[in-house]
Structure 1
Amino acid sequence: MSEVLSQREIDELFKALNTGEIDVNEIQEANVQKGIKVYDFARPSKFSKEQLRTLEIIFENYARLISTYLSGHLRTMVSAEVMNSEAVTYSEFTNALINPVILAITDFKPLKGSILLELSPNMGFTIIDRVLGGSGSGTNMVRDFTDIERVILEKLFTQFVQLLVEPWQNVVELEPTLEKLETNSQVVQLISPNEIVALVTLNIKIKNVAGMMNICIPHLVIESIMDKLNTKFWFAQKEQELG
Structure 2
Amino acid sequence: MAYDTFLSQNEVDSLFAEIEGTPTPKTIQEEPVYPDGVRPYDLSSPERIVRKRMQTFELINERFARNLRAVLLSFMRRNADVSVLPIKIQTFSEFERNLPVPSNLNMVKLSPLRGMSLFCFDPTLVFLVIETLFGGQIQQNTRVEGRDFTATEQRIIQRLLTHTLESYAHSWKPVYPIEYRYLRSEMHTKFANITGANEIVVVTPIRIEFGTMGGLLNVCLPYSMIEPLRDLLTQPFQDETEKGIENKWLRQLAGQLPEAEVELVANFTTIETSVAELLDLQEGMVLPIELPAEVTATIENVPVLKAKYGTYNNHYALNVTEHLEVPVFDVPESQPAPVTHVSIDEEIDLDDEDSNVSQTSR
State TM-score, norm by structure 1. Answer: 0.79
Match of 1:42, SS?
Answer: coil
Q: Distance in 1 between matches of 2:81 and 2:35?
A: 45
1:220 maps to a residue whose letter is S
Corresponding position of 1:207: 211
Aligned length: 213
Q: Do the aligned partners of residues 71 and 46 (structure 1) sit closer, same or farther apart at CA in structure 2, a change above 3 Å counting?
A: same
State TM-score, norm by structure 2. Answer: 0.54
Deviation at 1:79, TM superposition (A): 0.8
* Identical columns (%): 25
Q: Distance in 1 between matches of 2:212 and 2:106?
A: 25
Q: In 1, are the aligned partners of 2:128 and 2:214 still within 8 Å (CA)?
A: no
Q: In 2, are the aligned partners of 1:90 and 1:196 still within 8 Å (CA)?
A: yes
2:115 to 96, 113, 116: 113
Indicate yes or no: 2:34 matched with 1:27: yes
Corresponding position of 1:134: 136
Q: Could you give the per-residue CA deviations for residues 98-120 of structure 1, whole angstroms, max 9, x where no partner exists?
A: 32101111111111111111111
Deviation at 1:60, TM superposition (A): 1.1
Deviation at 1:174, TM superposition (A): 0.6
Q: Could you give the per-residue CA deviations for residues 69-88 of structure 1, whole angstroms, max 9, x where no partner exists?
A: 11221111101011111210
Q: Do the aligned partners of residues 59 and 181 (structure 1) sit closer, same or farther apart at CA in structure 2, a change above 3 Å counting?
A: same
Deviation at 1:221, TM superposition (A): 1.0
* RMSD of aligned Cα (Å): 2.4
Q: Distance in 2 between matches of 1:56 and 1:142?
A: 34
Q: Could you give the per-residue CA deviations for residues 42-70 of structure 1, whole angstroms, max 9, x where no partner exists?
A: 3353223422x432221111111111111
Corresponding position of 2:335: none
Indicate yes or no: 2:227 matched with 1:223: yes
Runs of 4+, deviation exceeding 6 Å = none
Q: Could you give the per-residue CA deviations for residues 121-160 of structure 1, whole angstroms, max 9, x where no partner exists?
A: 1110010112223234462322331121011101210121
Corresponding position of 2:238: 235
Q: Distance in 1 between matches of 2:162 and 2:49?
A: 30
Match of 2:32, SS?
Answer: helix
Q: In 1, are the aligned partners of 2:205 and 2:218 still within 8 Å (CA)?
A: yes
Corresponding position of 1:46: 49
Q: Do the aligned partners of residues 208 and 237 (structure 1) sit closer, same or farther apart at CA in structure 2, a change above 3 Å counting?
A: same
Q: Distance in 1 between matches of 2:51 and 2:63?
A: 21
Q: Distance in 2 between matches of 1:241 and 1:113?
A: 35
Match of 2:53, SS?
Answer: helix
Q: How does 1:72-91 map to 2 (within 5 A)?
A: 72-91=74-93
Q: In 2, are the aligned partners of 1:116 and 1:216 still within 8 Å (CA)?
A: yes
Q: How does 1:133-212 map to 2 (within 5 A)?
A: 133-137=135-139, 139-144=142-147, 145-212=149-216
Match of 2:158, SS?
Answer: helix
Q: In 2, are the aligned partners of 1:158 and 1:177 still within 8 Å (CA)?
A: no
Q: Distance in 2 between matches of 1:191 and 1:88?
A: 12
Q: Do the aligned partners of residues 237 and 217 (structure 1) sit closer, same or farther apart at CA in structure 2, a change above 3 Å counting?
A: farther
Q: Give the gaps of 5 or more residues in structure 1.
A: 1-23, 32-36
Q: Do the aligned partners of residues 29 and 160 (structure 1) sit closer, same or farther apart at CA in structure 2, a change above 3 Å counting?
A: farther
Q: Give the gaps of 5 or more residues in structure 2.
A: 1-30, 248-362
1:166 maps to a residue whose letter is H
Q: Distance in 2 between matches of 1:187 and 1:143?
A: 17
Tell which structure's C-alpha radius of gyration is larger.
Answer: 2
Answer 1 or 2: which has greater helix percent.
1
Higher normalized contact order (CA 8 Å, seq sep 6+, divided by chain length): 1
